[in-house]
Every structure is written in structure tokens, then in C-alpha cells.
Chains A and B, each alone.
Chain A
Amino acid sequence: MYKRFLFLVIAFSLLIGTLFADNTPEKKGDFNPSEAILHHILDSHEWELFSLSDGHGGHTPVALDLPWILYSSRDGLAFYTSTEALNESGLFHASHGKIHALKSGASTDTHAPEAHTDTTHTETAAYAEHHDANIDESVKVYDFSITRTSLQMIIVGIVMLLVFSSVAKSYTKNKGQAPTGAQSMFEPVIIFVRDLAKEYLGNKYEKFLPYLLTLFFFIWFSNLFGLTPLNSNIAGNIAVTCALAFLTLILIVANGTKDFWVHILLPPGVPPGIQQLLTLIELLSNLIIKPVALAIRLFANIAAGHFMVLSLISLIFILGKAGESVVGAMSGAAIGIPFSVAIFCLEMLVAIVQAYIFTLLTTVFISMALESHDDHHHAHEEEHEVSEVNKDLRLSDFGV
């Protein structure tokens, strides 16, 4: 276990090797909270860990530069180690998270390198204008870069691999004995998800359990990672949650029984005019609304949590006028810090509840797709019987 941890640390420190520092002079009293918050919420090509203040209003962000991997029909596959290297290449230009191809020949301009030193983050208007003229709209650039969020997802994956391979190993080691270590921590959670799958999927649960467990722990771990001060926002990124919901959609479509599709495409027992309308509604609700609501629910919950914490922390800088007023900053801290601690406690709960809800709804949707006619009738009859019994009980209670 320690060896693996060491491996992780070494792998991570290799990345730190590309740490860069650039000076962004910022005026005192100048703080834009929505920009600061969006900078955290949105994905980026560098992983900013913290920034060092020079005591005169300027700050030096300490960040990991992440590689750009681009594909365009003009230049084929292109690889750059940092945003700086990308902008120096003269082939592409990145600003505010958008990537454009530059007209060929723009690389020969002498303006770019000298202007570069002060333009990594805040571009001078002249430089931006200069590049706007050179943007070649006809070349479509596909961005396959390992961004901050994807790197953090890989890290969560590695952590899960380490944790759960050690848990799995202890199951073979302590066979028939009480669980130890990480095993005893995760066993109740694993059993909780297994019972959930058993309840909804019946005897077919074993087929889906590996995916459901992976889904649950991935969302939970990435939410918890998002609560560390490592500038991470995985499930608060709509692309990530959309991909997870798309996997659920694939499972629904791939496992849909004949009866499931008949109920969607030709709802039985309704008059012809209504049938077409129902087909439309059923198609929309099963194939679009369910997965989209799933994606937005997770995204909104996690992103809103990060928003709330960052807004409360921003109070310090808003009331303190970004370093001008110490009294304002102190009062901002007095309000912001206790509230953000409270929200953090709530977010710890939200982290696992949202993982549970996503897994629960995926299980329910799969169970609806798996439903075939025979089980359906059976279930209905049972329900009917139970309600009859209840009615008898109630009537006898009142002495009728």
C-alpha cells in the first residue's frame, strides 16, 4: 500500500515539474467575483493550485501547465506542453478557454513574442485585436487536451483502483474472517449499493452491479475530491455528468425488453389519436428527459455547492475591496467563513446523497427497461391483493 502511495506521489511530482509562475499585475480594489468563481467552475488547461501575493496587490499563480492535444485538418495532430507554447507556435491561438486556428504566415510576425510576457492571462487589447484579424475560421480545431477536469478524473480513477484493489485483496486474504482496514470501511457501502440493485433488478442484479458500484464510488470520490482545496470540480462540470447520463441511456437502450419498447412505441389500450401523442411523450421522457434530468441534477447540485462556498469566500474580497479595507475584509471573513464551514458540512452529505441518487435512478431506469410483461402482471396482482387486505383491515378497525 505504501509503495503504491509512493508511486502516486512520484507520478504527481513529475507533473509538478511543469509548474510555471507568471506575474499578473492587478490593481488594488479590483475584484470581480463572478470571474473568479467561473474560473473555478469551468474547465481549464492549467491546474491552478494557489497564488502567492507579493504584498503590493500583485499575485503569482502557482499552477500546473497541462498539455494541449489538438487535431485539425490543416495541421493534423498537434501537441503543445503549455498554453504559452501553443500561443508561441503561431498556428493556434487560445484565449478564454477557446481555441482558434491562425492563418498560416501569422507565425512570422515579430509582435507575438515580445507582447507575450504580459499577455498570458490578461491580454492587451492590441494583442487580442492583432490575433482576431489572423483567426482562420475555416479551419476547425478539435481539442482532445487533458484538461484540469480530465486529469482530476484520472487521479480519482487511480485512487479508486488503489483503494478497491486493496479491498478486493483483503477479501481473499481474510476469507471467512472479520473485515480489516479499508475493507471494513467500504463493506457497508458496497452492501448498501448491492441491496439497492437487488431490490430493483431482482435476480439480474449481478450483471449490473459492477457498473453501479463503479458509478457510485466514482461520483462519491470525485465529489469528495471537489471538497479538498485542490481546485477540483469534476461532477460540477456538465460535460462529465452528461457523459455519465449517456452511459445510463446506453444501458436503458441496450437492455430494453420487447415489452419495454412496445409500451413506448405502441402504448396498448389507448384510442388511435391519443396513441401517437403518447408515443411521442414516452419517447421524449424515456430517451431525452430522464437522462438530461439526471445529468443536470448532479451538475447543478455540485456546481451550486461550489458556487455557494466561493461566493461566501468572495465576500472577504468584496467587502475588503480586494485589500484596500482591512475592516471590510475582517467583517467579510466573520460572515463568510462560518457560513462556508456550514455549507462544507452540508456538501459532505450532498456528496454521498447525490452519488446515491444517481445510482438509484440509473438502477430504476434499468429495471424499467428490463420489465417484461409477465413480471408486470404478476406485480400488479400482488399489489391488488395487498390493497384488498388493507381495506379489510381498515374496515374492521372501524367495526364495520
Chain B
Amino acid sequence: MGLAGLGAGLSAIGAGLGIGKLAAAAVESIARQPEASGDIRGAMILTAAFIEGVALFAVVVCLLAVLK
């Protein structure tokens, strides 16, 4: 139970780092090139969903550890 909680926390840290770096880069590139903001936003959301997906893999593993 405790270890699963720790795992969920670690996966949140990982996903947070990933999405933070992604958002920083996206905001920077929108600032540099505002006319490309639509494309950049689309790519950002897509990549964010991928990063979130990896974090959710970890969440599922934690849930399996807790529930069964």
C-alpha cells in the first residue's frame, strides 16, 4: 500500500517534469514565432497526452498493487 503510494508519487514527479519541460519549450517557441502558435499548440497537446499516458501506465500498476 505504502510502496504503491510512493510509486504513484514518483510517476507524478516524472510526468510533471515532462509536461513542464514541454510547456516551457512550447511557450518559448510561441513567443518566438506567434504565427505558428496553432501548430505548436496541437503538437504540445499531443505530446502532453503521450507523457500523461506513460504516467497513467504507472498509475494502473499502482492501482493493481493496491487493489489486488
The interface of chain A, by Cβ under 8 A from chain B, is: 34, 38, 296-297, 299-301, 303-304, 307, 349-350, 353-354, 356-357, 360
Chain B residues within 8 Å of A356, by CB: 46
Does B63 sit within 8 A of A, measured CB to CB? Answer: yes
User: From DSSP, what is the main secondary structure of chain A's interface residues?
Assistant: helix
Chain B residues within 8 Å of A297, by CB: 53, 56-57
Chain B residues within 8 Å of A34, by CB: 66-67
- The A-B contact count (CB < 8 A) is 36
Q: Mark B45-68, 1 if CB is under 8 A from A, else 0.
A: 110011011001101100100110
Chain A residues within 8 Å of B60, by CB: 296, 299-300, 303-304
The residue of chain A having its C-beta at the shortest distance from the C-beta of B56 within the complex is: A300
Asked whether A300 and B49 contact (CB < 8 A) given A34-B66, A34-B67, A38-B67, the answer is no
Quick check: B67 and A300 within 8 Å, CB to CB?
Answer: no
CB distance from B46 to the nearest CB of A (A): 7
Chain B residues within 8 Å of A353, by CB: 45-46, 49
Quick check: A304 and B59 within 8 Å, CB to CB?
Answer: yes
Given contacts A300-B53, A304-B56, A350-B49, 8 further A-B contacts (CB under 8 A): A38-B67, A297-B53, A297-B56, A300-B60, A307-B63, A349-B45, A353-B46, A353-B49
CB distance from A325 to the nearest CB of B (A): 25
Chain A residues within 8 Å of B49, by CB: 301, 350, 353-354, 357
The residue of chain B having its C-beta at the shortest distance from the C-beta of A350 within the complex is: B49
The interface of chain B, by Cβ under 8 A from chain A, is: 45-46, 49-50, 52-53, 56-57, 59-60, 63, 66-67
Contact of B57 among A38, A296, A307 (CB under 8 A): A296
Contact of B46 among A299, A301, A303, A357 (CB under 8 A): A357
CB distance from A299 to the nearest CB of B (A): 8
Chain A residues within 8 Å of B63, by CB: 307
Asked whether A301 and B45 contact (CB < 8 A) given A34-B66, A307-B63, the answer is no
CB distance from A216 to the nearest CB of B (A): 14
A-B contact list, 28 entries, CB within 8 Å: A34-B66, A34-B67, A38-B67, A296-B60, A297-B53, A297-B57, A299-B60, A300-B53, A300-B56, A300-B57, A300-B59, A300-B60, A301-B49, A301-B53, A303-B60, A304-B56, A304-B59, A304-B60, A349-B45, A350-B49, A353-B46, A353-B49, A354-B49, A356-B46, A357-B46, A357-B49, A357-B50, A357-B53
Chain A residues within 8 Å of B56, by CB: 297, 300-301, 304
CB distance from A161 to the nearest CB of B (A): 28
Report the Cα distance A12→B47, complex, angstroms.
40
Interface centre among B46, B50, B57, B66, by most chain A C-beta atoms within 10 angstroms, is: B57
Report the Cα distance A300→B57, complex, angstroms.
6
Report the Cα distance A300→B67, complex, angstroms.
15
Interface centre among B50, B56, B57, B59, by most chain A C-beta atoms within 10 angstroms, is: B56
**Those 5 A-B pairs whose CB atoms lie nearest each other, nearest first:** A300-B56, A297-B53, A304-B56, A353-B49, A300-B60
CB distance from A305 to the nearest CB of B (A): 9
Report the Cα distance A83→B48, complex, angstroms.
43
